[in-house]
Structure 1
Amino acid sequence: MASAIARVPRRLGKFVPQQTCLMLCDMQEKFRNSIQYFPQIVEVSNRLLRAFKVLDLPVICTEQYPKGLGSTVPELGVAEHDVPVFDKTKFSMCLPPIEEIIKDKEIKAIVLCGIESHVCVQQTALDFLDAGLDVHLVVDACSSRSMVDRMYSFERMRDAGAFLTTSESVILGLAGGSAHPSFKQLQKIIWDSAPDTGLLPARQQPLLTAITDSLASPKL
């Protein structure tokens, strides 16, 4: 029997893979030594890139003023995977050629990672939210020079309507289940836990490890 209570439409942020695009923001050489957890952020972003390529979903990369800030770091893997890279001086990734790609591919949601969280990432998120797209902000793949700027930018974007998420949640959300034909390939990408990117205070790490170990231990 149908419920007499009318359902109120809500934005749940559920993935429709064919309408989802990964956006890699400004992970460039000159930022290597100044961004908090830079190597780990790049590693997590590379996981997402590989997953999107396994799923044959679009990926876009930008570089902020590459003449002064250098090219995208090679370990991200954009050259290896033939990812289009767009130069910019505007902080936001919402550029005319990128907007055209989103329109042509009928993209309704973006998965966003990169640097800096409180500048280019935040302005990108706000622009695409304003354009009516869902924005999934991968918190373990975004950072800034300052942890204060980083963490408060996450709150700012969440308050504006972005979905805060993690790399593994995105990858498994796109798969939808173990019956997906590419699940085994995706499983290899996430088999080892993603590196720590400083989202939890150090004092909480031992507790988290203990909880994880207890859940993984066989029951007697």
Structure 2
Amino acid sequence: MAQRRITNPALFICDLQDKFRPAIHEFPKVISTTQKMLKASQILNIPVFATTQNKTRLGETCPELGLDAADGVKTVIHADKTMFSMLTPEVRKALEKFDSKLSCVIVGIESHICVTQTTLDLLHEGHKVYILADGVSSCNKEEVPIALARLRHEGAVVTSSESFLYECMGDAGIEEFRQIARLVKETSSSTKDTLQTLCKI
């Protein structure tokens, strides 16, 4: 019987808020990748953790992500914070409900601040961390490769959304394969555009 390659994935969405739109390099591309990952999370039943950074000042999570909307994606937790890492006491408490360490896949902003500190904390807690290079950015685009190089050195896996989804499945024989393959096909144009924009070597 076909089994998934990654059995305990979790999607972490870091601070994708309205007020960051004009400031973040290629923000719409980060949103596009996040939307794809959210659709995949529903197909593969991947739990979703999300945060906002000081939403009183910086606004709510972008509405097009549909987090916690009546017909949208339900999150394990959607917490506001002032610290930079997503691992607030509230999020840590939510993580305790899981029996084993998670394979955490991170999208969001900013690569060199909140994404970096979240990654370091998750690694310190013994979780595996995947950072999607086509799903993270910063105000200054030059910060991104520096952050990703550091986090790779710290033990995180830097990969792409499509690579992660296929690794997560691991086998074309799993029940959800056709739905994920359809999603990948439907988003292939935006994925290519995003990779060419955010992942220049």
TM-score > 0.5 by shorter chain: yes
Identity %: 34
> 5 Å matches for 1:1-220?
15-17=5-7, 19-78=8-67, 79=69, 80-83=72-75, 84-105=77-98, 106-191=100-185, 192-193=187-188, 194=191, 195-196=193-194, 197-200=197-200
Once the two structures are superposed, residues 42-92 of structure 1 have per-residue CA deviations (whole angstroms, 9 ceiling, x without a partner) of: 110111111111111211110000000000111223131122310000000
Q: Is the 8 A contact 1:21 1:107 kept in 2?
A: no
> Displacement, 1:22?
0.6
Q: Is the 8 A contact 1:129 1:135 kept in 2?
A: yes
> Displacement, 1:177?
1.8
What is the aligned residue count? 187
> Displacement, 1:15?
4.9
**Alpha-carbon distance change, 27 to 15 in structure 1, aligned in 2, over 3 angstroms:** farther
User: What is the letter of the counterpart of residue 6 of structure 2?
Assistant: V
For residues 200 and 41 of structure 1, the distance between their equivalents in structure 2, rounded to whole angstroms, comes to 15
For residues 54 and 101 of structure 2, the distance between their equivalents in structure 1, rounded to whole angstroms, comes to 26
CA RMSD in angstroms, aligned pairs only: 1.5
Q: TM-score, normalised by structure 2?
A: 0.88
For residues 59 and 5 of structure 2, the distance between their equivalents in structure 1, rounded to whole angstroms, comes to 33
The secondary structure found in structure 2 opposite 1:100 is: helix
For residues 60 and 198 of structure 1, the distance between their equivalents in structure 2, rounded to whole angstroms, comes to 23
The secondary structure found in structure 1 opposite 2:129 is: strand
Q: Find runs of 4+ consecutive structure 1 residues off by over 3 angstroms.
A: none
Once the two structures are superposed, residues 115-155 of structure 1 have per-residue CA deviations (whole angstroms, 9 ceiling, x without a partner) of: 00000000000111111111101110000011111110011
**Greater Rg over alpha carbons, structure:** 1
Q: TM-score, normalised by structure 1?
A: 0.81
The secondary structure found in structure 1 opposite 2:142 is: helix
Once the two structures are superposed, residues 90-112 of structure 1 have per-residue CA deviations (whole angstroms, 9 ceiling, x without a partner) of: 00001122222222113322111
User: What is the letter of the counterpart of residue 28 of structure 2?
Assistant: P
For residues 75 and 43 of structure 1, the distance between their equivalents in structure 2, rounded to whole angstroms, comes to 10
Relative contact order, higher structure (CA 8 A, sep 6+): 2
Mark the runs of 5 or more structure 2 residues left unpaired by the alignment. Answer: none
